[in-house]
Amino acid sequence: MKQYDLTVIIHPDLEMNMQPALDKVAKLVESVGGKITKEDNEGKKRLNYKIAGQEFGLFYFYALDLPTDAPEKIERQLAIYDEVIRHLLVKKDLKAEKMAERRKELEAKREAAGISAEEGTNDSEEEK
């Protein structure tokens, strides 16, 4: 199983009753052998450009564990769901996430020790 992030934009007319659309997406993920590890309702947002004639959309985020053939099946199904006006399914880059976490840890240690980012480099103004 590989890890993916799925963001769906639900039609804004469904704002008062979004649950059936979300259940439909969840059932789709489960039907292809996937597992939802995290969900986040990011709320109603203005779109940068109209999609399906809409200026707003309801953004919902999922973190998924999916088998190898599942992303293609999910993409095909989400493209035909009327409730979903746009979606994005991307594979997580675990190496980049680990590097970002490590970088944050190092910055926190530097701050705790009172070392600024400029002091930690060899290119200080005094040496030039």
pLDDT tens, position by position, 31-74 = 999 999 999 999 999 999 999 899 999 999 999 999 999 999 99
Q: Say what the pLDDT of residue 116 is.
A: 61
Asked, for residue 84, whether it belongs to a domain, the answer is: yes
- Mean pLDDT throughout 104-118? 79
Asked, for residue 123, whether it belongs to a domain, the answer is: no
Tally of domains within the chain: 1
0.75 surpassed by pTM: no
Higher pLDDT, 101 or 25: 25
Whether 15 has a pLDDT exceeding 60, the answer reads yes
Asked, for residue 128, whether it belongs to a domain, the answer is: no
Which of 60, 59, 62 lies closest to 5, judged by CA?
62
Residue 96: domain span? 2-101
Whether 120 has a pLDDT exceeding 70, the answer reads no
Q: Are strands 35-51 and 54-66 parallel, antiparallel or unpaired?
A: antiparallel
Asked, for residue 114, whether it belongs to a domain, the answer is: no
Here the CATH number for the domain that contains residue 92 is 3.30.70.60
Whether 93 has a pLDDT exceeding 60, the answer reads yes
Mean pLDDT (the chain) is: 87
Asked, for residue 124, whether it belongs to a domain, the answer is: no
State both tokens at 25: 């997406």
